[in-house]
Structure 1
Amino acid sequence: MRWWLLGAALGLLVLIVPDVQAGRRPRDHEGGSRRGKRKRDGRGLGRTREGRSRPLKIRLVPGPIIPEKPGPNFGNTGFLNLYRNVQEQQSSYSVIPGKPDRCVYRGLTMFDLAVWSPSPCVTCLCAEGRVVCDEISCPTMHCPSPVTPAGACCPVCMDPDSELSLDLSGDSPVPSDPNKAVIPLTQEEIQSILWREEEEHREEEERLRKKDEARKKRRKERKEREEKQRKLVEERRREEEEALRLQVEKEEEEWRRQIEEAEERRRQEEEKRMQEEEERRQRERDKEIKLEEERRRQETLEREKLLEEEERQREEKEEEEEVWLRGDVFQMIPKERDLLPAPIPTPPAAIEEEEEEEEEEEMVTRSRGGLPPGCSISDVTVTCENIKLTHFPPLSIPELKSLSLEGNDISSIPAGAFNGIPNLEWINLKKNQLTSAGIDANVFKGLKMLRRLYLDENLLDMVPPDLPSTLQELKISENKLRGIDENSFQDLSSLVTLELEGNLLSEGNVDPRAFAPLTQLFYLRLGRNHFRTIPQGLPKSLLELYLENNLIEEISEAVFNRTGNLNVVSLRHNKLDETRIAPMAWFNHRNLESIDLSHNEFYLVPSFLPKSLVHLVLVGNNIERIPGYVFAHMDPGLEYLYMSFNKLDGEGIEPESFFGTHHSMTEMCLDHNQLIYVPIGISEMTNLHFLRLDSNKIRSISDESICDPNQDQETPLVGLRMENNYLDPQKISPSAFSCVRSASSVVLKPQKTKR
């Protein structure tokens, strides 16, 4: 029985060895191929972490291995030869693609998990449609006469004294010489193999244990460092909050003090105004009393004259009757002086009072340079506002610099009106009834010092002609200007500010050459007119352009070509959309930093915005989406973005929408939209100061949606508004707002009732 068991073990060994020599791996028929799994039972060929084959290790049971007779496990191909010093064999892999459930190899179809050996040194496997082949590379043999056994691919060193050989081409061990017996392995050799295996196993376990202990130690040290860092961060945050609280209290105290001072100034100004108003009313009352007294005096004089005339007529009638009764025939001719009415005697006191009043009025008129009643003069400024003047006052004050006639009913300015005030620098004629026909053509020509001329809210239908070349500021808003011709601004090369808002201007009645003389113009206001396109011929020097409340529908590619210095453009309340702006209209501008496109008809944030843009206003449009990378080309980057009152929802903002603004964005307003969550990318904005997300449909806030938990440096976020959403403040994690400098800067109440 013992010999039979020994023969079966040798037969099993012979079955295993060909697989090993051919580079095959044992298969697990239940779980697929065991790739890379280390064998600890000594059977099969394992793989190291570097992908190389491990040395074959065979465990044999000690004892005699000479069978009594050939059994079923013994073949006729030869005897079992024992080979010593079997060295490590190397293998390489090649992959042949196929179908997912089968493989095609050299015209043959192999099903999934099929294993075959196309040659002695190659073993192939069909795995998920791919053919994986393992080719053995033979090691260098250091023996005088290596031998390649039949059916093997690599040579081995043969012990010339061995009486057994391992026939790898057969399925059973056979004696090399029928006359010689099979020599088994000794107990010491087998024990040595087993000890070496156990020693390697213990070393591997010890190495893994030490590695695990080192990992646990590092994890513990990392946790201790994180806890220490967290405590330091918490302490620093408490200190910052305390400092911020003190600063806020100080600012509030300063703010209250400023409010009290402003309230005190306002009260003093109100008292002063009331006092001035009372003085003005008192002067009017005194004037009315004086006029009433004058009227009564005149009535008294007239009554006295009438009584004297009646008395004289009665006396004459009585004298005639007396003469007729006497019957005198000679009658004296009355002298000429007797024909005049007798003078009315005036009391001496009344004569003196009248003379004093006439002298006082003459002195006042002479000292005020012909200034009408109700006007005030201070140093070199005369103010005659809202006193119902109907004519331009004839002034004669050569040193006068400023004249304000605002709020009167003056309809004309005659020739020579400024002859007595030639040194004027500022004239304010707002809110009168001036017409172009009522202004003399040369009335402003003699004012060589004039800098500012205000003609707002009159009835002018054209720009006054022959304005002085020294003019720097001209305002003709809220009139009825019907056009601007080529010569309207002739010789006004010093003009800096021009305001023509609220007129009847359009691209059809504004000559493209009208602005050519304005070589120093910085500020141009053309709002509340009838423009459908940007007017042509804008000055090269222009810095700020305001065209709000027009009918502008498009921006052509060439309209801003000459305005390289343009810094601010306001186009709010027009009819623009993202399809009517030419791609290169302002894309390459290097100075255009602020654009206001509020209250237009945009559905998307427009592309091809200026590279230099810093301030963008898109309030009150129909914007539903912010395309990805729309701000990415801007340098140094967009800082202010206002998109309140639009239609942004959860799908309208992409992960790349704010790409390019993560280090530049300072203020962003997305309030009064339809957002259902905090937009992606806000937590990456390292320079954000103020954020508005109020009046949306946000229902929750994650810990990393606003604040980046991996951000170590201090964040500048000082204001966050999220009221009027569907949030439950009790369910929001405290760490969600960890990057906000002060908890008082986060506004969460009130919230809407959840639907």
Structure 2
Amino acid sequence: MKIAVLFCFFLLIIFQTDFGQNEEIPRKQRRKIYHRRLRKSSTSHKHRSNRQLGTPQTTIFTPVARFPVVNFDYGMEEKFESFSSFPGVESSYNVLPGKKGHCLVKGITMYNKAVWSPEPCTTCLCSDGRVLCDETMCHPQRCPQTVIPEGECCPVCSATEQREPTNLLHKQLPPPQVGMDQIVRKAALQSEEDEAMKEDTEQKTETPESRNQRQLYSEGDSRGGDRKQRPGEERRLAHQQQRQGREEEEEEEEEEGEEDEEEEEDEEDPVRGDTFRMPSRSPLPAPPRGTLRLPSGCSLSYRTISCINAMLTQIPPLTAPQITSLELTGNSIASIPDEAFNGLPNLERLDLSKNNITSPGIGPKAFKLLKKLTRLNMDGNNLIQIPSELPSTLEELKINENNLQAIDKESLSDLYQLVTLELEGNNLSEVNVDPLAFKPLKSLAYLRLGKNKFRIIPQGLPASIEELYLENNQIEEITEICFNHTRKINVIVLRYNKIEENRIAPLAWINQENLESIDLSYNKLYHVPSYLPKSLLHLVLLGNQIERIPGYVFGHMEPGLEYLYLSFNKLADDGMDRVSFYGAYHSLRELFLDHNDLKSVPPGIQEMKALHFLRLNNNKIRNILPEEICNAEEDDDSNLEHLHLENNYIKIREIPSYTFSCIRSYSSIVLKPQNIK
């Protein structure tokens, strides 16, 4: 019995020791352990959801695109998804890749290292042709009630919790914790001060000096300032604050070696009911002239003021030199007076899109003081001309979906640093655009003029242009002088125009050395155009009336065509032969011939050793003969990975077993469904 009692007593001592050790773990360390577990659980949940949402076996396999999946520890995984997510849904065919290193996002080319925010909580980066997105991590708030403003992703303290106006541009230092002995002294001091105040009020007369002294005393009390202390009280408090400051510095030095995300999570805990705090006596940064007061519906995040869909009728008067970004999207602003941005001299990004701004409503000096402005967005307004006296620091100017009637030679003057200019959806044409309008733009690389009324390629394009977008116009011909001075041009998009192959001049672009991508989709082409650029890698000809691929049309290209998209045309068996693809056999990686009138596999497919992706679906093919796609003797040399043959008239059971022997995975061969006739 004694042995059992001693054994229980020994176990009790061990449990108490373990419990005490756990209690000695610092509060910040326990919080870090909790956040690590939270991140691991959220990451594992994300992996499970990704597996559940994976593409099924019957899904149409199309060219693989990489989309990053961001987990909470800022790691990056690459999730492979097909362009088509459901059976029977064709890809968007928006496949013009653009210049190497750039990213194509929803039809818009993003330059390498470009940063944008597709959603309030997400920031994306173009990194060497790959889109990397990261989710915003929110800091914990120290108030019991929080709200998430519209257009923001992080919670902020609700208005009812803010007892007095807070200087949003200067973050106050966290108040230090105070021991119980200081609380007792503070209560005693407060009682003595109350008695003194009572004696003052009982006096019948009061001198101006005493009144001023009492006012200063009360103001200092309301601001948490210094009060009269007992003899030696200030010295003791100062010594305790210094000691507390040294302890905080030692803690910060211990945490410097940890990861960045853990440093962000090491915020002070919210005030508990058993914790006493008092205002810090350390000097606060001097506030700017006038406390920043934001209109209803606006929010502040770092150095960005966001007033998206805030029902504003005018630009709010703001005085905040620290602000670098102002978002006023989706309001009812109609005018911009000269003094509108006087209090925001350091603005770098200004978004005025989707308002009712008119050209007469913009003051002549409205943008003149913005000496650091690099990005200006005025999409979706009622402008009839480009605003005057824009800052020469501009690198990006967007005036899409307005009512621009003309561009003269002075409209873009002094914008020698402009890289991106977007003027889509206006009333511009070769008649009202001066040939010298683009001359000042010495750095322009990216120009969008789609959805206008051009009948020819605009004249006077700058020599620095790299990408030109002219879709949805009325262009009928491409003359020899269109691209005489654009030796750096890399991408030309001319889809949805009225171009015929015989209206393309032989010397229009054949000598271009950097032109790699051309999109002539949805024009009036009957043949694949001849005299294509020597450097061409990507040719997109969707939705024309092409019946024939002339022989040797790709023979002069170096290093050779890699991507050829001929979907939704009228190609038949007699429209191509072996010499049609001459010059591209060694280089062609993707060939789209779907939605045509083919009755058999085109000749020469098995000789395309670099081919990765072949689409022959939605034709009239009835038989797949041996060695039409794979050469049994050279299977090891084939790179074919994806093959589409669905929606033809093929009898699948009659296909020999070795017909697709060169394709590495049978799951990437799509044969069903087939038509029955």
2:328 corresponding residue in structure 1: 405
Asked if the contact 2:147/2:157 (under 8 Å) is kept, the reply is: no
Deviation at 1:578, TM superposition (A): 0.7
Residue 148 of structure 2 aligns to a residue in which SS?
helix
SS of aligned partner of 2:658: helix
1:417 and 2:351 equivalent?
no
Instruction: Work out which of the residue numbers 356, 371, 383 in structure 2 matches 1:448.
Output: 371
Aligned-pair distance for 1:738?
1.0
Report if the CA contact (8 A) 1:365-1:371 is conserved: no
Please, which of 423, 433, 438 is the counterpart of residue 510 of structure 1? 433
- Structure 1 position 365, deviation (Å): 12
Cα distance change on mapping 1:254 and 1:369 into 2, 3 Å = closer
Across the aligned residues of Structure 1 and Structure 2, the Cα RMSD in angstroms comes to: 3.1
Distance 2:297 2:475 in 1: 46
Partner of 2:474: 551
> Structure 2: which amino acid aligns with 1:546?
Y
Q: Which residue of 2 aligns with 1:610?
A: 533
What corresponds to 2:613 in structure 1?
690
CA distance in 2, matches of 1:568, 1:258: 35
For the pair 1:741 / 2:613, whether they are aligned, the reply is no
Match of 1:276 among 126, 148, 163: 148
Structure 1 CA distance for aligned equivalents of residues 300 and 136 of structure 2? 21
C-alpha deviation, 1:710, in angstroms: 3.3
1:157-213 per-position Cα deviation (integer Å, ceiling 9, x unaligned): xxxxxxxxxxxxxxxxxxxxxxxxxxxxxxxxxxxxxxxxxxxxxxxxxxxxxxxxx
Residues 368/616 of structure 1: CA separation in 2 closer, same or farther (3 Å cut):
farther
Given the superposition, is the C-alpha separation of residues 263 and 452 from structure 1 closer, same or farther in structure 2, using an over 3 Å criterion? closer
Given the alignment, which residue of 379, 382, 385 partners 2:305?
382
Task: Determine if contact 2:348/2:373 at 8 Å carries over to the other structure.
Answer: yes
Q: Does residue 417 of structure 2 align to residue 500 of structure 1?
A: no
The answer to whether the 8 Å contact 2:386/2:411 transfers is: yes
Structure-2 change in CA distance of 1:504 and 1:528 (3 Å): same
2:426 corresponds to 1:483? no
SS in 2 for 1:711: helix
* 2:648 alignment counterpart: 725
Q: 2:622 maps to what in 1?
A: 699
Q: Report the equivalent of 1:560.
A: 483
Q: CA deviation at 1:368?
A: 4.8
- Identity over the aligned pairs, expressed in percent? 55
The CA distance in 1 between the partners of 2:70 and 2:376, in whole Å, is: 34
Name structure 2 gaps, 5 residues minimum.
1-46, 56-67, 73-118, 123-134, 139-145, 163-221, 223-285
SS in 1 for 2:451: coil
Q: Which letter does structure 2 place at the counterpart of 1:449?
A: K
Kept in 2, the 8 Å contact 1:371–1:394? The answer is no
Say yes or no: does 1:527 pair with 2:450: yes
Matched position secondary structure for 2:380: coil
8 Å CA contact retained: 1:434, 1:459: yes
Q: Does structure 1 retain, via aligned residues, the 8 Å contact 2:147–2:156?
A: no
Partner of 1:634: 557
Q: What does residue 79 of structure 1 align with?
A: none
Q: CA deviation at 1:366?
A: 7.8
Describe how 1:41-52 pairs up with structure 2 within 5 A. none
Distance 1:434 1:648 in 2: 49
Q: Work out which of the residue numbers 436, 441, 447 in structure 1 matches 2:359.
A: 436
Code of the aligned partner of 2:51: R
Report what 2:461 is aligned to: 538
- Residue in 2 aligned with 1:166? none
Residue-pair matches, total: 429
Q: Report if the CA contact (8 A) 1:370-1:394 is conserved.
A: no
Aligned to 2:97: none
- Out of 657, 664, 673, the position equivalent to 2:587 is 664
1:627-651 deviation line (CA, Å, top 9, x unaligned): 1111111111100001111011111
The structure with the greater share of residues assigned to helix is 1
Contact 2:591 2:613 in 1 (8 A): yes
CA distance in 2, matches of 1:460, 1:254: 47
Instruction: Look up the match of 2:318.
Output: 395
Residue equivalent to 2:633:
710
TM-superposed CA distance for 1:259, in Å, is 7.3
SS of residue in 1 equivalent to 2:333: coil
Q: Are the equivalent residues in 1 in contact too, given 2:147–2:158 (CA < 8 A)? A: no
The change in CA–CA distance for 1:285 and 1:694 in structure 2 (over 3 A counts) is farther
Classify 1:610/1:374 alpha carbon distance in 2 versus 1 (closer, same or farther; 3 Å). same
State the alpha-carbon separation in 2 of the partners of residues 374 and 367 from structure 1. 20
Question: Given the alignment of the two structures, is residue 256 of structure 1 paired with residue 128 of structure 2, yes or no?
Answer: no
What is the CA-CA distance between 1:577 and the residue it aligns to? 1.0
Q: Distance in 2 between matches of 1:253 and 1:722?
A: 33
Q: Please say if residues 370 and 396 of structure 1, whose CA atoms lie closer than 8 Å, have aligned partners that are also in contact.
A: no
In the alignment, the residues of structure 1 paired with residue 137 and residue 159 of structure 2 have an alpha-carbon distance, to the nearest angstrom, of 18
AA partner of residue 438 (structure 1): G
Matched-pair contact (CA < 8 Å) for 1:435–1:459: yes
* Aligned-partner SS, 1:470: coil
**Match of 1:444, SS?**
coil
How big is the shift at 1:459?
0.4
CA contact (8 A) 2:587 2:610 kept: yes
User: Structure 1 residue 743: deviation in Å?
Assistant: 1.0
- 3-state secondary structure, aligned to 2:633: coil
Give the drift of 1:372: 1.1
- What does residue 621 of structure 1 align with? 544
Are the equivalent residues in 2 in contact too, given 1:413–1:439 (CA < 8 A)?
yes
For residue 710 of structure 1, give the secondary structure of its aligned residue in structure 2. helix
TM-score, scaled relative to structure 1: 0.54
**Contact 1:385/1:408, CA 8 A, preserved across alignment:** yes
Does the 8 Å contact 1:462/1:482 carry over to 2? yes
Q: Secondary structure in 2 aligned to 1:730?
A: helix
Change (3 A) 1:398 1:503: same
* Structure 1, unpaired ranges of 5+: 1-251, 288-355, 357-362
Q: Secondary structure at the match of 1:595?
A: strand
Cα drift, residue 714 of structure 1: 3.0
Whole-Å Cα distance in 2 between the matches of residues 583 and 592 of structure 1?
A: 15
Partner Cα distance (1:717, 1:384) in 2: 52
8 Å Cα contact 1:588/1:611 also seen in 2: yes
CA separation of 1:420/1:561 partners in 2, compared to 1, >3 Å: closer, same or farther?
A: same
C-alpha distance in 2, partners of 1:448/1:682? Answer: 59
